[in-house]
Amino acid sequence: MVSGERRPTLPCLVVCPPGLEDVVIAELDDLGVRARRTGKGSLLADLTTRQLYAANLFLRSATRVLVRVDRFTVRSFADLERQVRAVDWAPWIGPEDRPRVRVTTRHSKLWHDGAVAERFTSVLGPGSKEGREQLIVVRAVDDRFTVSVDSSGAPLHERGWRQATARAPLRESVAAALLTAARWDPTTPLVDPFCGSGTIAIEAALRATGAAPAGQRDLAFRSWPGFEPGTWASVTADANRRVSEAGEAPPIVAADRDTGAIESARSNAQRAGVEDLIEWRRVPIADLGPLAGSQAGIGLLATNPPWGGRVSGGDLRNLYATLGRVAAQRFAGWSLGVLVADRSLARQVRPGLTEALDLEVGGRRAWFLTGRVG
């Protein structure tokens, strides 16, 4: 390439859990990509092919990356079929691939989502039963259609290591965002006293080792007819470099009073390759002790406590108050991050916590509050 020549870019929509837009913007910025919000849980960015591959591999808090392949205005199914035929599908879909079309329409004359999807399938063909599935996302607003292909495959929060789950598991992408929002330094200790399926601790351990979030899973773009193996090799070389340059992992503790939760979390950590980097404690919050001796240092107490109902004969106010007492007595000077669905409960932990994230978790509004333990 001639020096100074701009690489061609692809217009992309980066999807993320609502409330994590700023976290993902910062992650993209680290990859040399400038992005802007377009709505709740979505960002627009122009990506080179290498940046597209890197975004899928390295983004910790995104859900998927869609490549916009065309935009057009149509008001009849005949016009829609003509426009679909005019799209150059060759870089994205091979003759054996099976298109799966996801359609949403709003204020459009072609309001029947199923009928719109049928027109795409009739043009593209069903593909082979053994062929790869390729998701095509179609959105129509006021007769203006935007057509995108999915470059990620399964949602990016599905890292490939979590199979055993405790109740109400936290998405990996959300756990990663909590660590970022709490400004956790991957060289300092981390403790999660309500570890559940272990997601926060495992994400922390993976970050400390420099491992790429999607390093253990397949990605849709690798099966595209237009896939560039040399470009992908460059991105994976960068991933390997990050691992080789990572220092020794800090002390990371995952604790829970439930034996089944600890067993599930350890199984997940084993699949992630970080079981030995985490100290596992089966202990109720009231009995959670500090890190020993040289391990202590200053670190982060980050957790997703139970959200509703009664807990082992007590109420949530008592549980959150106990968390606050244990933090003050045994983790003085540490940073604190608590994910809650009721901000009044956070005051039981410690008054004056700051709202770092306002997000949606499992269809419910939640807040991640951070501060310093006195």
Q: Same structural domain for residues 268 and 124?
A: no
Look up the CATH number of the domain holding residue 301: 3.40.50.150
Q: Same structural domain for residues 44 and 184?
A: no
Compute φ and ψ for 90, nearest 5 degrees. -55, -40
Distance, CA of 310 to CA of 19 (rounded, Å): 28
pLDDT of residue 273: 96
User: pLDDT digits over 313-329, tens only?
Assistant: 458 899 999 999 999 99
Confidence of residue 263 (pLDDT cuts 50, 70, 90): very high
DSSP state of 347: H
Distance, CA of 356 to CA of 369 (rounded, Å): 6
Q: Same structural domain for residues 203 and 103?
A: no
Mean pLDDT of all residues in 121-132:
92
333 domain-assigned: yes
pLDDT above 70: residue 254: yes
Q: Same structural domain for residues 271 and 186?
A: yes
Q: 276 Cβ partners below 8 Å, 6+ apart? A: none
Q: Same structural domain for residues 180 and 306?
A: yes
Q: Same structural domain for residues 278 and 360?
A: yes
Asked which of 109-123, 165-179, 302-316, 328-342 is least confident by mean pLDDT, the reply is 302-316
pLDDT of residue 297: 80
Q: Same structural domain for residues 326 and 198?
A: yes
Mean pLDDT of all residues in 103-122:
96
Long-range pairs of 4-8 with CB within 8 A, sequence gap ≥ 24: 7/48, 7/49, 7/50, 8/48, 8/49
Q: Same structural domain for residues 280 and 314?
A: yes
231 domain-assigned: no
pLDDT of residue 363: 85
pLDDT of residue 2: 38
Cβ 96 vs Cβ 132: under 8 Å: yes
pLDDT above 60: residue 182: yes
309 domain-assigned: yes
Distance, CA of 10 to CA of 219 (rounded, Å): 17
pLDDT of residue 164: 59
SS3 294: helix
Distance, CA of 233 to CA of 32 (rounded, Å): 18
User: pLDDT digits over 292-310, tens only?
Assistant: 875 778 999 999 999 875 4
Q: Which one has a higher pLDDT value, 313 or 213?
A: 213
Helices (H), 37-185: 49-58, 77-86, 113-124, 172-181
Q: Same structural domain for residues 192 and 295?
A: yes
3 domain-assigned: no
pLDDT of residue 313: 41
237 domain-assigned: no
Into how many domains does the chain fold? 2
Q: Same structural domain for residues 270 and 353?
A: yes
Cβ 85 vs Cβ 122: under 8 Å: no
pLDDT of residue 3: 41
45 domain-assigned: yes
pLDDT above 50: residue 311: no
pLDDT of residue 168: 57
pLDDT above 80: residue 229: yes
pLDDT of residue 225: 97
Token digits for 268?
A: 């997940």
Look up the CATH number of the domain holding residue 69: 3.30.2130.30
pLDDT of residue 52: 98
115 domain-assigned: yes
Query: What value, to the nearest 5°, has the Cα angle with vertex 356 and ends 347 and 327?
Result: 45
- The parent domain of residue 203 ranges over 172-210+246-372
> Residue 120, Cα to own-chain centre: how many angstroms?
29
Summary mean pLDDT of the chain: 93
216 domain-assigned: no
Percentage of the residues of the chain whose pLDDT score is greater than 70: 95
Asked which of 172-176, 312-316, 358-362 is least confident by mean pLDDT, the reply is 312-316
Q: Same structural domain for residues 199 and 260?
A: yes
Q: Same structural domain for residues 343 and 259?
A: yes
